[in-house]
Amino acid sequence: MKVLVTIFEELYPLSGGGSPRISNIIQAFARGGHEVCVVGGIASSAEEAKNYLGCREIVRLKTVSRLDPNKMKKYLLAHPINMASLLRAIRTFKPDLIVSHNTVAGYGSLMGRSLSRVNPLLVLNLTDLLFEYLDTYSSGGWLSTVQKFGRKMEGAAIRGSDRIITISRAMKEIILGYGASGEKIDIVCDGVDLNIFRKYESGDLRREHAPGKETVLIFQGVIDPQDGPELLVAAAGKLRAEKPGSAFWIIGAGTAIPALKERVREEGLTDAFYFSGWLTQKEVARYMSAGDIGLVILPDIVSARGRVTLKEFEYWACGLSVVAPRLPALEEVIEEGKTGLFYQPGNADDLVEKISALIDDPDLSGKMGEEGLRVVEEKYRWDKLADEFVRLCEGYRE
């Protein structure tokens, strides 16, 4: 089968977001003997990317850094160019199947099929709703117009795709609200690459960045405004009085970092925070291995209710217990009291209470990390999940 996989963001080298999921899906298609063309953002040589992904062809797209503070305006310029590139790739490669990551690429594939003389099956890999939290970016009145159009485009991609593979039962329920038929939706959860995320020796990092601290709390990923990371500052201010030996490590970069650093400075919490900046995935795993508790920060909004995120899987793979907001999709993968604890989204007092409970009971926290590792090894390994994704797609073509 000829398979075209497209993602309108940077795919390789891996940088979080959709790249771990899509790269593993591409590799699984290649392992299955399928001929794969990749249309996405590549920041290395095409040959290096092809060797890593196992695909036959690479079509580079114009990408915008997720860390760019002006990324929303740049997306508006990049996406029409990328849709034209995708159309050319469809006409040239003539795929039997197109897998599109999220709705912008999905809409491009829908348009590409209608404008070409090719009639591939369209599979939408839907992990997030991109236009639900756009109002968290204060870029001016033009953004409301973009959001209105984007939601229409998102709905068209959801309704127009032949099949949808999403990440949670909660996200499936949200998708149904966009008018999709339940019969065409399947679920393959997110996961973790255990070759990258595992327990490393990292005592040197702890000695360097948390000298004298008893507990290191990790928050990692792309730090963007829509996730509400300022909750960490509020929690740190409250936790300092109860647990002065606690440190917050912010591992990664993002558009919310400058404002977050300013809040930390204004609250006099500089000594309680460490900001690593951008790191490779292996470096992220080393930093997480130096921590004690992994934090998931998400607000109670539509898109977040369906997201499982990669964070908890990566924390577990590195042996950490997890404290996460009580949201529907996260409740599907975290077992309270066994692999983590839940707090009420946006509630700093409740977050501090759950963190304190694990600090006071290090044996429980350690057991949660061990159980989390067992769970990811059994259920949330990318190699198994990607093979399941491919089996579904093969079944769609029968």
CA distance 29 to 5: 10
At the top level of CATH, which class does the domain 203-379 belong to? alpha beta
pLDDT at residue 133, as a whole number: 53
Mean pLDDT of the chain: 91
Q: Are 390 and 32 in contact (CB under 8 A)?
A: yes
The percentage of the chain sitting over the pLDDT mark of 90, rounded to a whole number, equals 79
Question: What does the alpha-carbon distance between residue 356 and residue 297 come to, in Å, rounded to a whole number?
Answer: 17
Dmax over Cα atoms in the chain, in whole Å? 66
Give the pLDDT band (50/70/90) at residue 74: low
Is residue 2 very low, low, confident or very high in pLDDT (cuts 50, 70, 90)?
Answer: very high
pLDDT in tens, 234-281: 999 999 989 999 999 999 998 899 999 999 999 999 999 999 999 999
Q: Which residues have a Cβ under 8 Å from the Cβ of 313 and sit 6 or more positions away? A: 190, 191, 192, 197, 333, 376, 380
Give, rounded to a whole angstrom, the gap between the first and last alpha carbons of the chain: 11
Taking the C-alpha atoms of residue 220 and residue 222, their distance in angstroms, rounded to an integer, is 7
Q: Which residues contact 145 (CB under 8 A, 6 or more apart)?
A: none
Question: Between 29 and 149, where is the model more confident?
Answer: 29
Rounded CA-CA distance 24/2 in Å is 17
Task: Examine the pLDDT at 98 and tell me if it is beyond 80.
Answer: yes
Between CA 377 and CA 223 the distance in angstroms is: 27
pLDDT higher than threshold 60 for residue 34: yes
Alpha-helical (H) ranges within 168-270 are 169-176, 203-209, 231-242, 257-266
The predicted structure's pLDDT at residue 137: 47
Q: Is the pLDDT of residue 205 over 90?
A: yes
Tell me which amino acid residue 118 is: V
Domain definitions of the chain by residue range:
2-191+381-397, 203-379
79-98: buried (b, 16+ CB within 10 Å) or exposed (e) per residue? beebbebbbebbeebebbbb
Alpha helices in the chain (DSSP H): 19-31, 46-53, 71-93, 102-115, 142-160, 169-176, 203-209, 231-242, 257-266, 281-289, 302-306, 311-317, 328-333, 348-360, 362-379, 382-397
Q: Are 312 and 372 in contact (CB under 8 A)?
A: yes
Q: Is 362 left (phi over 0), alpha (psi -120 to 50) or beta?
A: alpha
Assess whether pLDDT exceeds 70 at residue 135. Answer: no
Residue-level pLDDT at 69: 59
In this prediction the pTM is: 0.92
Which residues are bridge partners to 107 per DSSP?
none
Task: Report how far residue 356's alpha carbon sits from residue 340's, in angstroms, rounded to the nearest whole number.
Answer: 13
Q: Which fold has domain 2-191+381-397?
A: Rossmann fold (3.40.50)
Q: What are phi and psi of 323, to 5 degrees?
A: -120, 120
For residue 71, pLDDT over 70 is answered with: no
Instruction: Please report which confidence band the pLDDT of residue 17 belongs to, taking 50, 70 and 90 as the band edges.
Output: confident
* pLDDT of 130: 74
Q: Structure tokens of 300?
A: 């109670």
